[in-house]
Structure 1
Amino acid sequence: MNTLGRKRLCITFFCALLLLFTACKKDESRQAQELYQVALGNLDICVLESGALETLVSNDIVQNVRRMTKILEIVDEGTMITAEDVKNARVLVRFETKDIEDTLFEHQTAFENAESSFTQGEESLIIQTSDNETALRNGELAVIYAENDLRKLVGDRMAERFAGSEKPRDIAALLDDPELGGQAKQDLTTLSSDIELAQIRLNRATQKLEYTRKLYEKQFVSKNELETDELEVETQKKTLVTAKGKYEIFRRYDFITNFHRVWATLINSKENLIRIKAVNRSRLVSAEAVLRSRKQNLLRATTRLEETKEALENCTIRATAPGLVVYETPPRWMNTGPIRPGVEIRHRQTIIKLPDLDQMAVKVNIHESQVDLVSVGMPAIISVDAMPNQSFTGKVNKKALLPSSQNQWLTPDVKVYETLVAFDTSDPNLRPGMNASVEIVAEQLRDVLYVPSQSVRTNAAGEHFCFTADGKPVPVELGKRNQSFVVVLAGLEQGDQILMAPPPLMESKQQDGDPEQERMAAAREKLIQSKQREEAKSNKDKKEAAKEEDKSENVKEDKSQPVEEGAGTEKKSE
């Protein structure tokens, strides 16, 4: 029992010594790893992003039929369209045409009806124009005839005096007007002459009767002759009365009646002429409106017919440019699945892309915090996942001015800008859709002091600190940075040693007076320190491994320095 106990004690003591020795070695290794010597050298400010390959020039085949159409046949994906295929107008896509053919028949019938209606409208307008001219001529002639009747009745001078004025109040007084002429003047003169003649004849008959009576008293004439002369006197008296009556009737009735009739005819003819002109305008405007309406119907029918014919032609899509056939992936919200025969395609939806493989690029999304570092023309290094042992050079070809709208639907709080990085020289093995990573060299800094980003601490006031080997904080002024290192403008010198995993600043531990909160904060700081130590150790191991790799795999000449090799290895690991 004693021997067994001594053996167990020796084994326990040996294990304790072994554990103590191992712990010491780990502490020495950890202390060595925690230190970083400030270096003076070149630093590349790079932007690292991943994306997918696409072509700069692509001939998109879209559906140009203004409705949902179903694919009947489509060329196989991956087919290479050659110049010979373009010359022969090879069919790429064919859609179903039954509904379009039925619509074409309906639109053809509607077009013929509209064309016939438009021709009728044109003829109706010509007829209406002719009717208007005839009615206008008749109305104008009626006015001329009425004016001539007025001139005939009262003469030219009096007719001109009343032209365009109102009807005179005392029409009978016109007979005494010295400007009276025409038929009224002639009739008035005739009637006056009849009265004068009747008066003269009456006087002569009376004188003859007196002479006959004297002769009768002396018995020179017979009683029969006396009676004859007496009858003649009575006859002339009646003739005089009749003449005066006609004269009075003419002055009081006939002239006034004729003047009213002629005047009314003139006024009515003028008003009728105005009505004719208005009716003509109304009918002409109506005929023109009908013609315009029928013309619009004809234009709509023509447009629909042409669109339907064009849609029928667009149901067959032929090759117009050479390239590799790549099916376009429909958006998820369409729920139609991949492009294939039987799938319905909406208007203007892209079906096939014919990319130009000689002009390839990588499409990446640059975060808004780094977009200002990137500008068109900057050099870049491209790594394609499908070709891990080969890298390519390129340049920034295009940078979006506004954030990506498609990304805003998925992550509205993250703003990214679509950027195209074009290959300097393409490779026949590159295909659209391949995953690739891009390292854009935004700026190359020469002979600057830089330290790892993890070795810097920042307080609440925005002040930056590094910690010396003995744990003393040193205020530093920082400059530009990349993914792993930051430039030190002031506060450190070349060769200074700082902690890779510095402790937290004192003020961060005293932000809360609650002991429980301080304990939790301290635990979090310890956890962060342990992670930082592990990262520092991993970085150092990678740095040593990078020194042993072949220098030909590095594209940049500046990466031949140990510090920058470590930074590049760190970027690749990220």
Structure 2
Amino acid sequence: MSNDQPANENAKPVPKSWLKSVVIVIALVGAFAVVTPMLFGGLSTTEQKSVLTHRIARGDLKVTVTENGMLESSNNKEIKCLVKGGSTVLWVIETGTLVQPGDELVRLDTSRIEDNITTQEIAYETALANKIITESDVAVAEKSITEYLEGTFIEERSLLEKEIFDAEQAVKAAELDLKSTTRLASKGLIKSLQIDGDRFALDSARKQLELKKTQLQTLELYKRDKETQQLTSTLQAAKARLASDVARLKLEKTRLEREREQLENCVIKAATAGMVIFPSAAEWKETPDIEEGATVREQQTLLMIPDLEQMQVKVGIHESKVGRLNTGMAAQIALQDLALEGAVDTIASITKPAGWWTGNMVKYDTIIKLDPQPGLKPGMSAVVDIVLANYEDVLTIPVAAIVESNEGFLCWVQSEFGVKKRVIQLGDSNDEFTIVTAGLTEGEKVVLNPLAFVDEAQNAALQPKQSSDPVDKNTSDKNTLDKKSLDLKKPDKKKSGKKSLGKKPLGKDSDRHDVYDNQSGEGATSTKAADTIDAAQLIAMGDKNGDGVMTKDEFPAKDRDQFDRVDTDGDGKVTTSEMEAIADALSGK
């Protein structure tokens, strides 16, 4: 026998059955690698390595509300603009300047007021002249009454009395003439016509007497009263004009003095010693209200001299939390390098104005009272933490692990079977952690930021009413099932027995994808033999409602376009036999 035989001639032939088993195992490993991303929450290997988890534990929880505020004094000496109608700032002292009584603080424009003073001086002099004239009219009216009663009336009455006396003498003479004529006529010495003439003369004298008596009566009973009334009315009118002119003069004088006072108000000086600061400007303004060239209105606060011994912090509390505040609550104030203690002093009953400069957020002004502390200055920024509640030995979950959905609040728990959804009930919360009242137990691990890593979380989360951009189906095809690998034939009905993709059931010692634990900072991704999963277990992992099959909405969103290829009988459900067909197709059966 020749010794040149190849070395492998002595080697034992490899059993074909063993080779076939190796091929099947490799194929099943490939099938597991394709199917598992769909059923384990849609996490790819890369995503599983980068995702963080948090281990649920008990501890203390402090619930606080944190807001930024500004330091101010609760007792400010306000320096206001006292110029009527406002004015323009010509010069203003720098904020933060220490002043003494009498120091000039603000100088306002005086040109308009100086013009008003000139105009008012003219009006005052005119009113003064009118008053003098009216005073003369009153004096004349008063003398006119005295002149009439003590002069004109007596003169007229005396004249009428003299005329009456003369008329009476004329009547007597006419009567004598008539008697003499009548006697002579009876003797025939004169004609009868002479008698008629004397009789007519007597009648005329008598009528003249009656007229004069009537005039005297009219003078005493009517004319005197009428003239007196007219003169009195003239006096009263003159006095009324005088009162008006006096009031006008007083008014014009007041206006003149006011304008002169306004001129003095254009130069504002300090009444007390202290540090001068500008008042807080509106939130939407980028510059202070008080600066050179700015227009200021009457009663507008230009400057303030604060009392540095009575300091406070004003913050705006959001409407969602203001209902939990009460006066007297403890507060911690971070002020530059100082940590101060304070308490809630007042809470506004109405909201502060909201606008674009506040992001349209509704907030309520809240005052935090501070104890006297040297070195505090108005305008310093502060961060205020108001303690709302303290909880001891409670189960908490990070806010980042919670997703709000139509089912309630959800989280995703990592277990040996993968990442599973869990409905939880929550209690009080701060900005980082929330109390869990039901749904989780101590020691369980939850996925942080599931919306970024778990497709099921993306589908379950409450969506906004409108989507700004359509979903681009071509943005990424990572972790998508290979379409060629799913181009399957219908399963053989004869192979109705349960196909196993492995020999061991999934248990404690089985392989699983672990993710980083944010408490330990350590993590690893390991993959053991894929032959530990059978078709029934794969279905159970993806079956959300527990009906024993997988529907299209139970598939990961990114793999749903492959559902129809897996659902070979077209009934809208993937059964255990159809999942076993995946193993058959990938193993070449």
TM-score by length of 2: 0.54
CA distance in 2 between partners of 1:331 and 1:518 (Å): 42
2:346 is aligned with what amino acid?
Answer: K
Q: Structure 1 residue aligned with 2:265, among 300, 307, 314?
A: 314
CA distance in 2 between partners of 1:510 and 1:80 (Å): 58
CA distance in 1 between partners of 2:152 and 2:286 (Å): 75
2:131 is aligned with what amino acid?
Answer: F
Aligned to 1:213: none
The structural deviation recorded for 1:319 is 2.9
Aligned to 2:386: 440
1:427 aligns with 2:377: no
1:326 is aligned with what amino acid?
Answer: I
Query: For structure 1, which runs of at least 5 residues remain unmatched after alignment?
Result: 1-15, 17-22, 154-182, 203-230, 527-535, 543-574
CA distance in 1 between partners of 2:229 and 2:518 (Å): 99
CA distance in 2 between partners of 1:43 and 1:299 (Å): 74
Q: Structure 2 residue aligned with 1:49, among 48, 63, 67?
A: 67
1:346 aligns with 2:365: no
Aligned to 2:314: 363
1:118 is aligned with what amino acid?
Answer: K
3-state DSSP of counterpart to 1:301? helix
Aligned to 2:351: 403
Does the Cα contact within 8 Å between 1:455 and 1:498 map onto a contact in 2?
no
Q: Deviations over 1:224-270 (max 9, x none)?
A: xxxxxxx98113x75x875676456655x554565466547755886
CA distance in 1 between partners of 2:463 and 2:277 (Å): 61
CA distance in 1 between partners of 2:273 and 2:129 (Å): 47
Aligned to 1:290: 241
CA distance in 2 between partners of 1:282 and 1:491 (Å): 99
Does the Cα contact within 8 Å between 2:141 and 2:232 map onto a contact in 1?
no
1:399 is aligned with what amino acid?
Answer: I
Q: Deviations over 1:293-323 (max 9, x none)?
A: 4334423432233234323433443332222
Change in CA separation of 1:260 and 1:446 when aligned onto 2, cut-off 3 Å: farther
The structural deviation recorded for 1:382 is 0.9
1:125 aligns with 2:138: yes
Query: For structure 2, which runs of at least 5 residues remain unmatched after alignment?
Result: 1-29, 31-43, 451-455, 480-514, 522-589
Change in CA separation of 1:408 and 1:123 when aligned onto 2, cut-off 3 Å: farther
The structural deviation recorded for 1:392 is 1.0
Aligned to 1:391: 339
The structural deviation recorded for 1:141 is 6.2
Identity rate, percent? 25
Aligned to 1:6: none
Q: Deviations over 1:515-570 (max 9, x none)?
A: x98998xx9xx9xxxxxxxxx9897589xxxxxxxxxxxxxxxxxxxxxxxxxxxx
Change in CA separation of 1:420 and 1:269 when aligned onto 2, cut-off 3 Å: same
Pairwise CA RMSD:
5.5
CA distance in 2 between partners of 1:538 and 1:404 (Å): 44
Change in CA separation of 1:260 and 1:353 when aligned onto 2, cut-off 3 Å: same
2:79 is aligned with what amino acid?
Answer: I
1:354 is aligned with what amino acid?
Answer: I
Alignment of 1:133-532 (within 5 A): 134-135=147-148, 233-235=187-189, 246-247=198-199, 250=202, 255-256=206-207, 259=210, 263=214, 276=227, 279-280=230-231, 283-284=234-235, 286-327=237-278, 343=293, 346-348=296-298, 350-384=301-335, 386-387=336-337, 390-405=338-353, 407-408=354-355, 410=357, 413-428=360-375, 430-444=376-390, 451-460=397-406, 463-464=408-409, 471=420, 473-474=422-423, 476=425, 479-487=427-435, 491=438, 495=442, 497=444, 499=446, 504=457
Q: Deviations over 1:108-155 (max 9, x none)?
A: 5654554344334333323333334545777876998899899x89xx
Change in CA separation of 1:504 and 1:322 when aligned onto 2, cut-off 3 Å: same
Does the Cα contact within 8 Å between 2:413 and 2:422 map onto a contact in 1?
yes
Does the Cα contact within 8 Å between 2:403 and 2:457 map onto a contact in 1?
yes
Does the Cα contact within 8 Å between 1:146 and 1:266 map onto a contact in 2?
no
The structural deviation recorded for 1:456 is 4.9
Aligned to 1:68: 87
The structural deviation recorded for 1:380 is 1.3
Change in CA separation of 1:327 and 1:257 when aligned onto 2, cut-off 3 Å: same
3-state DSSP of counterpart to 1:391? strand
Does the Cα contact within 8 Å between 2:345 and 2:367 map onto a contact in 1?
yes
Higher helix proportion (structure 1 or 2): 1
Does the Cα contact within 8 Å between 2:161 and 2:216 map onto a contact in 1?
no
CA distance in 2 between partners of 1:149 and 1:496 (Å): 140
Q: Deviations over 1:173-209 (max 9, x none)?
A: xxxxxxxxxx99x99999889877877x57xxxxxxx
CA distance in 2 between partners of 1:117 and 1:438 (Å): 69
Change in CA separation of 1:511 and 1:286 when aligned onto 2, cut-off 3 Å: closer
The structural deviation recorded for 1:436 is 1.6
3-state DSSP of counterpart to 1:326? coil
CA distance in 1 between partners of 2:428 and 2:283 (Å): 41
